[in-house]
Amino acid sequence: MPLNSTEKAFFEQLAEEAKNNPRKSLAEMSIEEFRESAKVFNDYAGPAADIDFEDTVILCQDGHELKARFYQCDDTVLPLLIFFPGCGYVLDLFESNHVALSKMAKAAGCHAVLVQYRLAPEYPLPAAYNDALEATKYIFDHAGNFHADKHKIIVGGFSTGGGLAAAVCQALKKSVNYPIFHQLLFDGLYDATLSLRDYDEFDAQDLLLTRDSLKYQLAFYTPNKSQAKDMRCSPYWSDKFHGLPSSTMLLPEYSGIRSQGEAYAKKLKDAGVAINKVIIPGQTHNTPICRKVLSDGEDPAVVAGNALKKVIN
């Protein structure tokens, strides 16, 4: 189907605003200015689901703490989704991702934990990966604190968080102590080289996640070009696909990184991994965290939650 009307109208609005009030090019923009411009994502997110949650912290081995939010925090033992937010590795989009995850957890009927990892350029590769891996182990080790069914712990994420979730699942696939039940990969970033281009005609329609903006953000997390194929930020280039947990992949039809999602799904399928690939028609990459302004079609967070509900039940 064509690009949804609200997405098209929003992109046209942004183009008109840029025409009337030109901003600096990415090449001229500091990371502080880029972060300031991205604060509007919180305005675009819309309301969260009506669901109980509480803020907590994840303790890391070197003493630093990761901000986290625990959903459906009653004492009923339930499956648990560990979820890493999308943020381009450089932006604080915790609250925008909170809106999406609250709806996922409510639709799925599970506990969930949103875990914020450290951001670049202050903390480049492998900081975010190390945080995601440590957080996953911590939550397994303290499953009782999260009232989690330890046999049904899912690791997931959105955008860069989806790439981190995929990398964590690869790292822990043979672990007896950390048996990941399923992975929920929501339009993840799996290739920091940005060389996968099979769905360019779809990717190019996403004007809120352009190739130039991806390059700009990734340069802070992987300042050395030789790092671009490191599996910790580019799990697509790993050879650890056999034996991965079953997978649910959500791909907005016109995401700026759909090519990556399709390529990663193919590698999973070729390795014999059970995969449910869901194409969300008419939507773009940021629809899950910009639902207030990108409102056509089914809410993609609810789509993800419903898909997960089928898995855990």
Integer CA distances (angstroms), 310 to 225, 232, 244, 273, 313, in order:
41, 29, 19, 17, 5
Half-sphere exposure (CA, 13 Å, Cβ side) for 195?
A: 7
End-to-end CA distance of the chain: 31
> Which of 308, 305, 309, 286 has its CA nearest to residue 97?
286
DSSP lists the bridge partners of residue 251 as 279
> Which of 221, 245, 255 has its CA nearest to residue 122?
221
* Residue 293: per-residue pLDDT: 97
pLDDT of residue 74 exceeding 90, the answer is no
pLDDT band at 72 (very low <50, low <70, confident <90, very high): confident
Going by C-beta distance under 8 Å and a sequence separation of 6 or more, which residues neighbour residue 135? 58, 60, 66, 68, 82, 84, 115, 117
User: Packing angle between helix 127-141 and helix 160-172, nearest 10 degrees?
Assistant: 60
* Residue 73: per-residue pLDDT: 78
Query: Can you list the domains of the chain with their CATH numbers?
Result: 5-312 (3.40.50.1820)
DSSP secondary structure of the chain:
-PPPHHHHHHHHHHHHHHHHS----GGG--HHHHHHHTTHHHHHS-PPPS--EEEEEEE-TTS-EEEEEEES-SS--EEEEEEE--STTT---HHHHHHHHHHHHHHHTSEEEEEPPP-TTTS-TTHHHHHHHHHHHHHHHTGGGGTEEEEEEEEEEETHHHHHHHHHHHHHTT-SSS---EEEEES----TT----TTHHHHTT-TTS-HHHHHHHHHHH--SGGGGG-TTT-GGG-S--TTPPEEEEEEETT-TTHHHHHHHHHHHHHTT--EEEEEETT--TTGGG-TTT---SS-HHHHHHHHHHHHH-
Average pLDDT over every residue of 5-12: 97
pTM above 0.95, yes or no: yes
**Across the chain, what does the average pLDDT equal?**
97
Output the CA angle 274-188-234, nearest 5 degrees. Answer: 95
pLDDT band at 266 (very low <50, low <70, confident <90, very high): very high
pLDDT per position as a tens digit, 152-195: 999 999 999 999 999 999 999 999 999 999 999 999 999 999 99
Q: In this structure, are strands 275-280 and 182-186 parallel, antiparallel, or unpaired?
A: unpaired
pLDDT per position as a tens digit, 16-58: 998 998 889 999 999 999 999 999 999 999 999 999 999 999 9
Q: Among residues of the chain, what percentage have pLDDT more than 70?
A: 100
* Residue 79: per-residue pLDDT: 98
Cβ atoms 199, 254 nearer than 8 A: no
CA 11 to chain centroid: 22
Q: Among residues of the chain, what percentage have pLDDT more than 90?
A: 96
pLDDT of residue 6 exceeding 90, the answer is yes
User: Packing angle between helix 300-312 and helix 94-108, nearest 10 degrees?
Assistant: 40
Average pLDDT over every residue of 90-119: 98
* Residue 98: per-residue pLDDT: 98
pLDDT per position as a tens digit, 273-305: 999 999 999 999 999 999 999 999 999 999 999
CA distance 237 to 216: 21
